[in-house]
Amino acid sequence: MEKKGEKFAKKNKALFMETSAKDGKNIEEVFQMLATEILNVFENKQQKKDNININNPHSEKRRSCC
Protein backbone atom coordinates (compact mmCIF):
# COMPACT_ATOMS: atom_id res chain seq x y z
CA MET A 1 0.00 0.00 0.00
CA GLU A 2 1.35 3.39 -1.01
CA LYS A 3 1.83 5.81 1.86
CA LYS A 4 0.60 9.40 1.89
CA GLY A 5 4.13 10.86 1.49
CA GLU A 6 4.98 8.61 -1.45
CA LYS A 7 1.70 9.45 -3.15
CA PHE A 8 2.28 13.18 -2.67
CA ALA A 9 5.83 12.92 -4.04
CA LYS A 10 4.69 11.02 -7.14
CA LYS A 11 1.88 13.49 -7.80
CA ASN A 12 4.28 16.44 -7.53
CA LYS A 13 7.22 14.76 -9.31
CA ALA A 14 9.31 15.08 -6.16
CA LEU A 15 11.89 12.86 -4.56
CA PHE A 16 10.81 10.69 -1.67
CA MET A 17 12.77 8.68 0.84
CA GLU A 18 11.58 7.48 4.21
CA THR A 19 13.98 8.50 6.97
CA SER A 20 14.29 8.28 10.74
CA ALA A 21 16.39 10.62 12.85
CA LYS A 22 15.73 8.35 15.81
CA ASP A 23 17.55 5.31 14.40
CA GLY A 24 19.52 7.07 11.63
CA LYS A 25 17.67 5.29 8.82
CA ASN A 26 18.55 6.76 5.38
CA ILE A 27 19.80 10.08 6.81
CA GLU A 28 23.13 10.03 4.99
CA GLU A 29 21.50 8.63 1.86
CA VAL A 30 18.85 11.35 1.65
CA PHE A 31 21.48 14.11 1.93
CA GLN A 32 23.55 12.43 -0.77
CA MET A 33 20.48 12.13 -3.00
CA LEU A 34 19.56 15.80 -2.49
CA ALA A 35 23.09 17.00 -3.16
CA THR A 36 23.22 14.96 -6.37
CA GLU A 37 19.88 16.36 -7.55
CA ILE A 38 20.96 19.94 -6.80
CA LEU A 39 24.16 19.43 -8.80
CA ASN A 40 22.16 17.98 -11.68
CA VAL A 41 19.90 21.04 -11.76
CA PHE A 42 22.86 23.44 -11.86
CA GLU A 43 24.68 21.37 -14.49
CA ASN A 44 21.58 21.26 -16.70
CA LYS A 45 21.11 25.03 -16.41
CA GLN A 46 24.76 25.63 -17.30
CA GLN A 47 24.54 23.23 -20.23
CA LYS A 48 21.51 25.09 -21.59
CA LYS A 49 23.42 28.38 -21.33
CA ASP A 50 26.38 26.90 -23.22
CA ASN A 51 24.26 25.60 -26.10
CA ILE A 52 23.58 27.94 -29.00
CA ASN A 53 20.86 27.05 -31.45
CA ILE A 54 22.06 28.18 -34.90
CA ASN A 55 18.53 27.82 -36.28
CA ASN A 56 17.10 30.30 -33.78
CA PRO A 57 17.94 33.90 -34.68
CA HIS A 58 17.11 34.96 -31.12
CA SER A 59 19.45 32.47 -29.44
CA GLU A 60 22.15 35.12 -29.20
CA LYS A 61 22.60 38.70 -30.31
CA ARG A 62 23.54 39.02 -33.94
CA ARG A 63 26.77 40.80 -34.63
CA SER A 64 27.82 42.31 -37.88
CA CYS A 65 31.19 43.45 -39.03
CA CYS A 66 29.96 46.50 -40.97
pLDDT in tens, 14-52: 999 999 999 999 999 999 999 999 999 988 888 777 776
Is position 6 within any domain? no
Is position 11 within any domain? no
Is position 47 within any domain? yes
Is position 3 within any domain? no
Counted domains in the chain: 1
> How sure is the predictor about 62, in pLDDT bands with cuts at 50, 70 and 90?
low
Integer Cα distance of 48 and 53 in angstroms:
10
| Res 30: pLDDT | 95
Is position 62 within any domain? no
Is position 9 within any domain? no
| Res 11: pLDDT | 96
Residue 30 is part of which domain span?
20-51
Phi/psi at 35 (5° precision): -60, -40
Q: Are 6 and 19 in contact (CB under 8 A)?
A: no
State CA 32 to chain mean position distance: 13
Q: What is the pTM of this model?
A: 0.58
> How sure is the predictor about 64, in pLDDT bands with cuts at 50, 70 and 90?
low
